[in-house]
Amino acid sequence: MSEGGMLAIDGSRETGQDVRTQNMMAAVSIANIVKSSLGPVGLDKMLVDNVGDVTITNDGATILKLLDVEHPAGKVLCELADLQDQEVGDGTTSVVILAAELLKRGNELVKQRIHPTSIISGYRLALKEAVRYIKKTLTIPMSKLERSNLVMAAKTSMNSKIIGPESDHFAEIAVSAMQNVRTERPDGSVRYPLKAVNIIKAHGRSSRESVLVDGYAINCTRAAQGMPTSISNAKIALLDFNLARHKLKLGVQVLVKDPRELEALQQRELDITKEKIQTILKSGANVILCSKGIDDVCLKYFVEAGAIAVRRVPKDDLRRIAKATGGELVLTMADADGADEEFDPSWLGSAGEVSEERLGDGEIIYIKECVKTAAQTVVLRGANEYFLDEVERSLHDSLCIIKRALETNTLVAGGGAVETALSVHLEDYASTLGTREQLAIVEFAQALLVIPRTLATNAAQDATELVARLRAKHAVSQQDPAQGEGMQYSGLDLVAGKVVNCFEYGIVEPAISKVKSLRFATEAAVTILRIDDSIKLNPREEPQ
């Protein structure tokens, strides 16, 4: 027997307001976890998993990925942060906070006897108007994005992270890396592939000594000491199979009558191995990168030939190197009928130089001057594992932001400027509508203020007063554009605790980041608001 009366199903059912309230509570409690990590003075979270691994981070997506959330509505928010991370790369915390606030306000409206359908259509209308307004009024168009603007966007993204104090240094690295991997597609479009920037972490030194290297680096060492440490004009063979002494296949029986034949048999095995290696070297290869093992017999031949061989290179790295050097990942050397083993010179990738250099406690192989696409490597230095991991996450967010800014060419002011401007605009917009969606749009407008309010609260400032001042500035700029020239970029300077022109202050973000996070937050809120029934089935009991 359950609340819904006798059920024909084996389980419990909850309907109507109970479910809505539960879903809202789940969403709000998840948003509260990440709330305090928003903004330039946001705090970090320490997460310990069931094995005892520690992660210290304030990246919303990472926090929510590591949480084991049971509530289905909570899971929607975790997936939402993940989606924002994949699509935009930054703004994961704010999208979750916004979605939870929209849900909370939607739930209040339902309690006031407004039908969820009206709320949902109101939210959709508000979203449409918001996106239109961002594109028409709030974007700062960049015909050619100045490098200074990109550095500003990178610094804004880094300000809320652990590398905030060093953002000058890291922003320059991130912008240079992204600009250097510019690739033109055959159809004429320009792309900035994120994967062409490799991030390598090495213990020791201070984070200020992190550097950008022109080329691709892999965290591996030469397989033998006798090999040269540097080869210029490198021809790279990329192998995805074991280089080991040839052995007879399993199940092959050899009857040996004379002990000398046994020696000949072993000699032949060695010869087959030697021929295989010679085939690779004959094609002109002088650098061999292998994803599996290379045994001593094979190494001997490589050392004699003066080539560099590297074993156990991660497959992802091999694929990226293949792309950057124009090589091909070779799975087998056998030809179609499996008779002869050949190595086609066209499979080789080319690079200006391959060298091994010492870094921190270990060595790193650099592949410089790649032929096909420019590859960049950021070598991060830092005190310990946790610090390096967090710096890598922060840098990844910044690289994504620069990529989005370069590909879309439009920026908006940060520091809560967009949300406040939209809030003021949507309240005016709502009063022009004579339909029942009006109330939902007003709530949507109010919900947007959660971002500047949270920013101010985290910075230990008076949120109520700051947000009121901010709204006043935006109201002036919207009612009297001539008098409020430039006021539409007003946002919060959280260190000084005052309202400033964020564009002049260099607090900017890509417009696409804001548009997408509004879209995703609204979609998530709508998805959960539509739910009015929750049926939980009891687990099946297996007959003993």
List the structure tokens of 267: 């000699």
Three-class HEC string of 465-521: HHHHHHHHHHHHHHHCCCCCCCHHHEEEECCCCEEEEHHHHCCEEEHHHHHHHHHHH
Active site residue 420: no
Cross-strand bridge partners of residue 57: 45
Cross-strand bridge partners of residue 213: 377
Phi, psi of 101 (to 5 degrees): -70, -40
Active site residue 85: no
Residues in the chain: 544
Given 397, 410, 493, 522, which residue is catalytic? 397
For residue 53, count CB atoms less than 10 angstroms from its CB and return exposed for 0-12, middle for 13-18, buried for 19 or more. exposed
For residue 302, count CB atoms less than 10 angstroms from its CB and return exposed for 0-12, middle for 13-18, buried for 19 or more. buried
Per the CB < 8 A criterion, the answer to whether 229 and 356 are in contact is yes
Given 55, 57, 62, 92, which residue is catalytic? 92
Cross-strand bridge partners of residue 382: 203, 204
Active site residue 59: yes
Given 59, 85, 90, 493, which residue is catalytic? 59
Four-residue CA torsion sign, 438, 467, 27, 160: positive
Active site residue 93: yes
List the structure tokens of 24: 């809202």
Cross-strand bridge partners of residue 198: 377
Per-position DSSP letters for 83-140, written without gaps between them? HHHHHTSS-HHHHHHHHHHHHHHHHHHHHTT--HHHHHHHHHHHHHHHHHHIIIII-E
Q: What is the C-alpha separation between 353 and 325, in angstroms, rounded? A: 11
Q: What is the C-alpha separation between 5 and 10, in angstroms, rounded? A: 12
Q: What is the C-alpha separation between 509 and 525, in angstroms, rounded? A: 24
Residue with tokens 């295989």: 276
Q: What is the C-alpha separation between 300 and 298, in angstroms, rounded? A: 5
Provide the strand spans (E) within 267-375: 287-290, 308-310, 329-330, 349-359, 362-370
b vs e for 29-44, b when ≥16 Cβ sit within 10 Å of the residue's Cβ? Answer: ebbebbbbbbbbbbeb
Per the CB < 8 A criterion, the answer to whether 30 and 70 are in contact is no
Given 55, 57, 62, 93, which residue is catalytic? 93
CA atoms within 13 A on the CB side of 172: 8
b vs e for 69-101, b when ≥16 Cβ sit within 10 Å of the residue's Cβ? Answer: beeebbebbbebbbbbbebbbbbbbbbbbbbbb
b vs e for 485-504, b when ≥16 Cβ sit within 10 Å of the residue's Cβ? Answer: eebbbbbbbbeeeebbbbbe
Catalytic residues: 59, 92-93, 397
